[in-house]
Structure 1
Amino acid sequence: MKRLKQITAVLFALILALGFTGCKPRLVEENREKPEQNQPTQVESNNEPQENDQDQDNNENKADKIDLKEIKANENGQVMILMYHGISDKEAEWVRTADNFRKDLRTLYDEGYRLISLKDYIENNIKVEAGYTPFVMTFDDGLLNSYNIIEENGEKKIDPDCAVGILEEFKKEHPDFGRGGSFFVFYPIPFRQKELIKEKYEFLIQNGYDIGNHAYTHENLGKLSIEDVQKALGKNVKLTQGYLPGYDVYALALPYGIGPKGDGYIYAAQGEYDGVKYNHRAVLKVGSNPAPSPVDIKFDPIRLPRIRASEMNTAGTGIYDWLQHFEKKPEKRYISDGNPDTVAIPESEKDNVDQSKLNGKELIIYN
């Protein structure tokens, strides 16, 4: 009996031992799973460089697959900077109707043009899909029909027939159209609704637009002394920054297309008034032709030509004249390679590139 009890005790102990031993693999397995379940935050953090490298490799592979010759990539081609003024119900030399403005946008979109900001253009930060052409859009004078806010059913809304309203609607319908648009304003009441100036400014900069300098009261800078040029430009910047503290007014559209005379022209770009310094890295003329690529040897950011977005009295230099020109001579048109870190050009353009303007981008020459 005693021996039976001993055997029973041994068997019981053995069963217990086997039972606990049998649990251990599951416990170990669970302990392994938990770190793996908790690991993603750490693993993703530790592996992010590898994942980014892989993404970058994928992007490079995609870029490698692009046939530059087939898409006729030419990132030293010309860029249209379009100049608008008013949008109204009657067409005039300096005014587009709302319907014609919509037509302009549709035509540009259908013909492979994509909107970028003036700042991205002058800084050569052009991010446009391969095979497409960047363009810049500007609006002078800060007119009511450029940006009008109306009231409907007791609520404020953007007038659907003003420039901003039309642009916003078009971008909703065509999200790949791009973003941009510079509004060059003068004072005392830009956009002609005094109580809404700050609201309009804030909407613009929050939605990819720029606010530029058009002098204090649209002065003819060619008729002013150096002191008065700085006053006209510095006062504009001071007032704009009063609505938008610290805002970078980086561009000027010359009123009447006229800058200060002779050596005084530099004051269109830089100067100071009443303790306020201004630094216009882009100065726009009225002009009548496309602007050079930002890496072209002829690129001069403080003397940028513009194209009149008009069909009246253009003397063959309006928007549709140039669209037709580029259709006949596509080799003159800026065509993106789709990679913002490279500048792709045909061999015929290599002598026209100022390599000091590449700013670290890789120059790719193909034939």
Structure 2
Amino acid sequence: MSKFKANYALILLIIFALILVACTPQTGVVNTPPASNQEQTQQPAELNKPELEKEAEADTETQVPQVDYKQIGVNENGQIMLLMYHGISDKEDIWVRTPENFRKDLENLYQKGYRLITLKDYLDNNIKVEAGYTPVVITFDDGLKNQFNIIEENGEKKIDPDSAVGIMEEFKKKYPDFGQGGTFYVYYPTPFRQKELIKEKFDFLIENGYEIGNHAYSHENLGKETAEGVQKALALNVFYTQKYLPGYDVFSLALPYGIAPKDEKFKYAVSGEYEGTKYNNRAILRVGSNPAPAPNHVKFDAARLPRVRASELDTGGVGMYDYLASFEKYPEKKYISDGNPDTVVIPEEEQENINKESLKDKQLVTYKKN
């Protein structure tokens, strides 16, 4: 009996040893689990995904270069040029640039560190310009054919490469980082002087980042109009623009001849109504001869925005090239971006010129200049 018990105990010991070996993990062998088990093995990784993403974001943030405000002279309360053009034609004149000179203007702006923004982004204080660069706005008055001309070549329609739009589109391809945009202030009955192509041109402009503004219905001198006359001229312009572009927001006015309605009638340049058509101009642009204040400057007045004439003839020292030279000599006067549209960065001494109510959700950052 004792011998039987001993054999029985030995058998149990051997069985236990075999079970222990079978349950021990073995190295050097990778088994692909069934699909259901594979999903389960992935769950811990999914649970840790937010932490992994946070680590990745932290790594990315550490790679973003810090801007040395003092070194590049950041001043996001400096002046911004709103350039004013009229004709683009073969013969240079006070109100006309040749195609060659317009190309030269764009090249000079680019090489001197200016980057194009839209008027809307300027008004919205949504200035997305790289650190160290200066925003510039381009406007065209009158809606002339040489601003946007469509020609036929080999039986196909194309944009005249020597028209303003043709030149700007060409420049955009050459320097994609220059930016895009431009506001065309048109009047009626035939903006851009090709009646059958008005709709096509308007569509192209809007689809390619340009804006269309109000220049009164037929270029009326608003300083001579009655209150009703001012409203009629501005409302009819909006009415016909929206006829080609239903629902389009015509939000700015360039004063014909640079003349505003007189005295109490000025309010009708801002907003009004005629025969059911309402208008509201967020900005009124003058012919004025100096750069405009930054959107957060205490002197910023959207109803009285000055422009700089893009010309080299009879500028009286206040043309585009005069200010380019002035800003090179006194760079602290111009707007210089920090590269972050969510902040407004200025030297400490500029604080008194900031309209803090206009900042809204922007963060004001100051730094010591000296």
- How would you bin the TM-score normalised by the shorter chain? 0.7 to 0.9
CA distance in 1, matches of 2:80, 2:92: 26
The change in CA–CA distance for 1:47 and 1:197 in structure 2 (over 3 A counts) is farther
Q: Which residue is equivalent to 1:347? A: 348
Counterpart in the other structure of 2:206 = 205
**Partner in structure 2 of residue 67 of structure 1:** 68
Shift in alpha-carbon separation, 1:30–1:250, aligned structure 2, 3 A: same
Using the TM superposition, give the Cα deviation of residue 57 of structure 1 relative to its aligned residue in structure 2, in angstroms.
Answer: 3.7
- Structure 1 segment 120-131 matched on structure 2, within 5 A: 120-131=121-132
Q: What's the counterpart of residue 7 of structure 2?
A: none
Post-superposition CA distance 1:160-179 (Å, at most 9, x none): 00000000000100010011
Q: Separation in 1 of the partners of 2:233 and 2:48?
A: 54
Q: Distance in 2 between matches of 1:268 and 1:44?
A: 59
Relative to structure 1, the CA distance from residue 207 to residue 49 in structure 2 (aligned partners, 3 Å threshold; closer, same or farther) is farther
2:31 to 23, 26, 34: 26
* Amino acid in structure 2 at the alignment position of 1:70: Q
Counterparts in 2 of 1:276 and 1:68: CA distance versus 1, 3 Å: same
SS of 2:178 mapped into structure 1: coil
Which residue is equivalent to 1:237? 238
Q: CA deviation at 1:276?
A: 1.2
Q: How does 1:322-333 map to 2 (within 5 A)?
A: 322-333=323-334
Partner of 1:5: none
Larger CA Rg, structure 1 vs 2? 2
- State the one-letter code of the partner of 1:276: T
Q: Which runs of 5+ in 2 are unaligned?
A: 1-17
- CA shift in 2, pair 1:180/1:26, >3 Å: same
Which residue number corresponds to residue 302 of structure 1?
303
Distance 1:29 1:103, change over 3 A: same
**Structure 1 gap ranges (5+):** 1-13
Residues 177, 30 of structure 1: alpha-carbon distance in 2 compared, 3 angstrom cutoff = same
Query: AA paired with 2:94?
Result: E
Give, as a single letter, the amino acid of the residue that structure 1 aligns with 2:123: I
Residue 263 of structure 2: aligned partner: 262
Residues 217-247 of structure 1: per-residue CA shift (max 9 Å, x gap)? 0000000001110000000001000111100
The total of aligned residue pairs comes to 349
Give identity over the alignment, percent: 62
Change (3 A) 1:201 1:45: farther
Question: Shift in Å at residue 348 of structure 1?
Answer: 1.8
Residue 206 of structure 1 deviates from its aligned partner by: 0.7
SS in 2 for 1:99: helix
**TM-score between both structures, scaled by the size of structure 1:** 0.88
The residue type equivalent to 1:312 in the other structure is: L
TM-score by length of 2: 0.87
Query: How far is the alpha carbon of 1:260 from its aligned partner?
Result: 0.7
- SS where residue 252 of structure 1 aligns? strand
User: Within 2, Cα distance between the matches of 1:330 and 1:230?
Assistant: 41
- AA partner of residue 142 (structure 1): G
1:100 aligned onto 2:105: no
CA distance, structure 2, for counterparts of residue 117 and residue 306 of structure 1: 14
Note if 1:90 corresponds to 2:95: no
Give the distance between the partners of 2:161 and 2:44, measured in 1 at CA: 51
Supply the RMSD in Å over aligned alpha carbons: 2.9
Amino acid of the structure 1 residue aligned with 2:325 = Q
Deviation, structure 1 residue 126: 0.2
Structure-2 residue corresponding to 1:279: 280
- Distance of aligned partners of 1:43 and 1:245 in 2 relative to their CA distance in 1, 3 Å threshold: farther
Question: How big is the shift at 1:266?
Answer: 1.4
**In the alignment, does 2:138 pair up with 1:137?**
yes
**Residues 308-354 of structure 1 deviation map (CA, whole Å, 9 limit, x = unaligned):** 00111111111101111111111101000000000000112110000
Give the whole-Å Cα distance in 2 for the aligned partners of 1:361 and 1:260: 35
Q: CA deviation at 1:180?
A: 1.2
